[in-house]
């Protein structure tokens, strides 16, 4: 498949921020970088979107849910913040959308959620604890 551009999907999540930052750096280092867009839901708020744009060094497009689908074009490489320990979710996404291309930016670098939290913290971001952090887990 010929890739036409990279679409980084931003969320109020340290993994999404770090994945976008790494994808931008990797793309910029290429001899022929692809067009790249970073998209965040407008509900995340202007303050977060502006802070993310400063951190990433690129504009962040603020979109409503209805406009999210308009960003998906054939040939896009999608970047989501899926850390290595959640790689199963990445595989599930790829299975659900076999015609789309997804980059495993964090897993390819063996970055865990804790790594991303620390990198984002050093960049000045703070995040509320995940509502799932203390959820009971099934016995292995």
Query: What does the pLDDT profile of the chain (140 residues) look like in tens digits?
Result: 566 899 999 988 999 999 999 999 999 999 999 999 999 988 888 999 999 999 999 999 988 765 666 667 888 999 999 999 998 888 888 898 888 899 999 999 999 999 999 999 999 888 766 544 444 444 44
Q: Are 27 and 5 in contact (CB under 8 A)?
A: no
Judged on CB neighbours under 10 Å (0-12, 13-18, 19+), 81 is buried
| 28 touches 6 (CB < 8 A) | no
- Write out the two tokens for 121: 């913290």
What is the third-level CATH fold of 5-122? Rossmann fold (3.40.50)
Residue 109 confidence (pLDDT): 95
């Amino acid at each position: 498949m010929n890739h036409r551009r990279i679409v980084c999907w931003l969320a109020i999540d340290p993994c999404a921020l770090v994945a976008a930052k790494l994808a931008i750096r990797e793309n910029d280092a290429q001899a022929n970088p692809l067009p790249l867009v970073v998209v965040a839901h407008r509900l995340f708020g202007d303050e977060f979107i502006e802070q993310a744009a400063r951190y990433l060094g690129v504009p962040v497009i603020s979109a409503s849910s209805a406009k999210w689908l308009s960003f998906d074009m054939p040939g896009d490489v999608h970047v989501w913040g899926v850390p290595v320990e959640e790689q199963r979710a990445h595989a599930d996404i790829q299975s659900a959308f076999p015609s789309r291309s997804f980059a495993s930016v964090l897993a390819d670098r063996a970055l865990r959620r804790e790594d991303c939290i620390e990198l984002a913290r050093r960049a000045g971001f703070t995040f509320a604890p995940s509502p799932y952090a203390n959820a009971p887990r099934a016995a292995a």
